[in-house]
Amino acid sequence: MRPTVNDIAREAGVSLATVDRVLNARPGVREKTVKAVNDAIARLGYVRDLTAANLARGRTYRVAVVLPDTESQFIQSLAEALTEAGSLAATSRTELRLHRFPAEDPHALAALLGTLPGRDYLGVALMAPETPILRDAVRQLRANGIPVVALVSDLPNAGRDHFIGIDNRAAGRTAGVIMGRFLGGGPGQVLVLGQSLLARDMIERRRGFDEVMQRDFPGLEALQSLETHGSPATLRQVVREMLANAPDVRGIYAMGGGNRTLTQVLDEMGLSGKLTVICHELTPHVRAALIAGRITAVITQNLGHLARSTLRVLRAKADHQPLDESQEQIRIEIVLRENLPEPPVSQPPTEVDQVA
């Protein structure tokens, strides 16, 4: 049998109350006694039973996730992954609530964040562009003792407690190597598309991409980034224009968003399968395009891991416990048609228990 608090008390020659004070870092215990208890713990190899501890504490981890209300497949998949992770975690006293805010309205976002402290949340996960207003709102939350983690896109200057997502610069480098290698090092030109050159993740991807292209593939020319501002019409127009005027374009790097429109345009121009197309995020549409050969490679992150990591990190932060960094690191995945993972079956709500 594994040792319990009572064993510790006996072994250390103190009472259960004292062991409890030591274990939970409550005041009123002499240094000497603390040491005696810790020695006993070490000697017996005691491991605290967290399930029992949480049960006794009667604690429920209520956590808020705040996402923009964009209709993009990526956000939608992310929301699904989070919801599913939340429902699976329900058996371990964890509750996840999703909040959406108007994508282009920082004030609405700030207002939403302002209401959170009153709702008994133990932590907040947030995906949003880093505006000054947001920074203040995040600081406010943290001042209220609510840990904040940034999701997908980092918020370094807002003082978030943790960032959950990939290293976008490395992701850009990865896209660069694949593009360069797949094109045999050149010669040729590469089109680069991005929603907005102001978003932090886009900037970093572009920087990483250029790094590799310049260093390793001087024979290839990466053209200036084209901004699409999330508008299909704009995307359609700039791509058509560029491809018509630049016969040397052999590859396209889509740094974010608009993949559906992009593949459509390429199809219309009869270019599907003739260019090396690399994009981000394995959404259902991208998956199909990959299988059909319209997209060559995808740089992506596992949204399931991201969602579960979010819950784990927020719980750890709420408990002031250290993280298993290696588990929380989100990998930069390279997906080709050949290593395409099975599509996640969105599970029907189940009555059955799940081991967390």
Partner DNA sequence: GCCGATCTGAGGTACGCACCTCAAAAATGC
Partner DNA sequence: GCATTTTTGAGGTGCGTACCTCAGATCGGC
| Footprint of DNA (CB under 7 A) | 1-2, 4-6, 13-18, 20-21, 23-24, 27-30, 32-33, 46, 48-49, 52-53, 55-58
Q: Which two tokens stand for residue 275?
A: 């260019």
Which partner, a second copy, DNA, none, binds residue 184 by CB below 5 to 8 Å per kind? Answer: a second copy
Element (H, E) at 64: strand 61-68
CB of 266 to a second copy, least distance (A): 19
Binding residue for a second copy (CB under 8 A) from 181, 207, 229, 240? 181
Query: Which CA distances in Å does 241 have to 76, 191, 226, 238?
Result: 31, 12, 11, 5
Contact between 351 and a second copy per CB under 8 A? yes
How far is 256 from 194, CA to CA, in rounded Å? Answer: 6
CB of 302 to a second copy, least distance (A): 7
Which partner, a second copy, DNA, none, binds residue 332 by CB below 5 to 8 Å per kind? Answer: a second copy
Which partner, a second copy, DNA, none, binds residue 344 by CB below 5 to 8 Å per kind? Answer: a second copy
Binding residue for a second copy (CB under 8 A) from 90, 223, 238, 288? 90
Query: Which CA distances in Å does 120 have to 64, 90, 143, 151?
Result: 10, 17, 15, 21
Contact between 48 and a second copy per CB under 8 A? yes
How far is 90 from 60, CA to CA, in rounded Å? Answer: 10
Closer residue to DNA in complex, CB, 41/82: 41
Q: Which stretch binds a second copy (CB under 8 A): 26-34, 35-43, 136-144, 253-261?
A: 35-43
How far is 13 from 293, CA to CA, in rounded Å? Answer: 71
Closer residue to a second copy in complex, CB, 245/347: 347
246-267 burial, b at 16+ Cβ within 10 Å, e below that, comes to: eeebbbbbbbbbbbbbbbbbbe
Which partner, DNA, a second copy, none, binds residue 223 by CB below 5 to 8 Å per kind? Answer: none
Binding residue for a second copy (CB under 8 A) from 41, 110, 152, 249? 41
Which partner, a second copy, DNA, none, binds residue 336 by CB below 5 to 8 Å per kind? Answer: a second copy
CB of 214 to a second copy, least distance (A): 14
